[in-house]
Amino acid sequence: MELPFAEPYKIKMVEPIRRTTREERQQWIKDAGFNLFNLRSEQVYIDLLTDSGTGAMSDRQWSEIMLGDESYAGSASYYKLKSAVKEIFGFDHFLPTHQGRGAENVLFSVLVKPGDLVPGNSHFDTTKGHIEFRQATAIDCTIDEAFDCTANHPFKGNVDLEKLDKILKINPKERIPFIIVTLTCNSSGGQPVSLENLKGVSALARKYGIPLIYDSARFAENAYFIKSREKGQANKTIREIVAEMFSYADGMTMSSKKDGIVNIGGLIGMRSVELYQQASVYNIMFEGFVTYGGQAGRDMAALARGLYEATEFDYLESRVKQVAYLGQKLTDYGIQVQQPYGGHAIFIDANKFLPHIPKEEFRAQTLAVELYIEGGVRGVEIGAIMADRDPVTRENRFPALELVRLAIPRRVYTFNHMDYIAASLANVFHRREEIIKGFAIEYEAPILRHFTVKLKRAE
């Protein structure tokens, strides 16, 4: 018999979590303005709001915490991280930041000006937010298959090279500060970008003389998919694949809260010393001195270690297979989820789940609230609320996909937890006809409204 895979770790420390009653949850979510971000963590049994900063560090990472050097300038932990960035990504220059959006803020402060266009593959909301905040426009060039949950394409994060070429051809070079490719593409469902596609994007970037930047939050999961799905890549190591992926880029931003397997942190990597010098100015203003950028020395040390652990095949295999296990359970229950299963999360198609709720009443949010009430499981809406209003017309934007994301924290939950989540969702699925009302907005912020939005039941 072929031996099944199992986690390449055992558990040394546990954190208790508590089940609650449906009545408690009904009251709590009402008090929270039906916004899952407003719940207290104790009110949640299984927390799938995000895989960002919620992972479990290893004993080796914790030992790095003890070894952290807290010198303001030139900390040994900074040099540890600098050498990991060079070894794994190949960038000579790097700046630590407090998290991914800090990296975006610093880099975009140098590169993005009003009227600019930034093409990419379904920019993440903070990335888009930082582009739009500078009166520039994010242009989505993702392949069309990404917007059909049932299409079984192995690399639904891919950039449509024709769409990209068209943008680069018809606009003056001065208006396009860079192309940004998100690895894996979170907004299209944790879907990977192939090596071949990265090569193609890079060729276009060079042809038009435009820098190529990677948003690298889940770069290691992307590399795992390249190894397991792309022709000719099976025999390469994850690190070899990562090295090739990044050889095509001029720079990177990263939220290290994902594939860095740490609770906070981010970074910018780049080849150009001029860019490094310009970005350093903003780093010092917004983040901290160039050798810590908003991180404690111990955070940088644990991150260096996390980058090596996240690029080990056995870890990635158990990670991605746990996510796929949940996806398969939901599929078996007849629930439509984004196919193929993503690297860090399962994305449920709320348009298919609750087609009778008007889209103006926020289908995905309605489903996320019902799942919380059913089992105390907290997912997140990736739909019209998160899509914000159009910055010019101020009309609601209704994205092609209305999704509920169940993001799985790294090395945190067991397969029993996956069974519980799937059963909770199956229960909601069985009573979906009885869910007849969505939500209306009571309060919203002008940008990134989903964090603080307050909702009421639709009339």
Which residues are at the interface with ligand P61 (CB under 6 A)?
A: 50, 52, 99-101, 124-127, 182, 186, 215, 217, 255, 257, 266, 380, 407, 450
Residue 124 annotated among the catalytic residues of the structure: yes
Residue 276 annotated among the catalytic residues of the structure: no
Helix axes 363-375, 22-31, angle to 10 degrees: 140
Shortest distance (Å) from residue 101 CB to ligand P61? 3
> Which amino acid makes up residue 29?
I
Shortest distance (Å) from residue 125 CB to ligand P61? 5
CB 117 within 8 A of CB 136: yes
Pairing of strands 117-120, 403-407: unpaired
CB 418 within 8 A of CB 325: yes
- What's the CA angle centered on 37, arms 33 and 41, to 5 degrees? 110
Shortest distance (Å) from residue 407 CB to ligand P61? 6
Q: Given the complex with ligand P61, which of 49 and 195 has the nearer CB atom?
A: 49
Q: Given the complex with ligand P61, which of 83 and 452 has the nearer CB atom?
A: 452
Residue 259 annotated among the catalytic residues of the structure: no
Shortest distance (Å) from residue 265 CB to ligand P61? 8
Nearest 10 degrees: CA dihedral of 381, 385, 391, 392?
130
Give the closest residue to 182 by CA, choosing from 351, 392, 342.
342
Catalytic residue among 5, 72, 443, 451: 72
Q: How many helices (H) and strands (E) does the chain have?
A: 15, 14
Residue 125 annotated among the catalytic residues of the structure: yes
Residue 236 annotated among the catalytic residues of the structure: no
Q: Given the complex with ligand P61, which of 94 and 429 has the nearer CB atom?
A: 94
Catalytic residue among 82, 258, 329, 344: 258
Q: Given the complex with ligand P61, which of 221 and 361 has the nearer CB atom?
A: 221
Q: Given the complex with ligand P61, which of 440 and 445 has the nearer CB atom?
A: 445
Q: SS3 sequence, 266-322?
A: EEEEECCHHHHHHHHHHHHHHHCCCCCCCCCHHHHHHHHHHHHHHCCHHHHHHHHHH
Catalytic residue among 47, 51, 116, 125: 125
Distance, in Å, from the CA atom of 187 to the CA atom of 149, rounded to the nearest integer, reads 12
Q: Which residue is nearest to ligand P61 (CB)?
A: 100
Shortest distance (Å) from residue 62 CB to ligand P61? 21
Residue 72 annotated among the catalytic residues of the structure: yes
Cite the active site residues.
72, 124-125, 215, 217, 258, 450
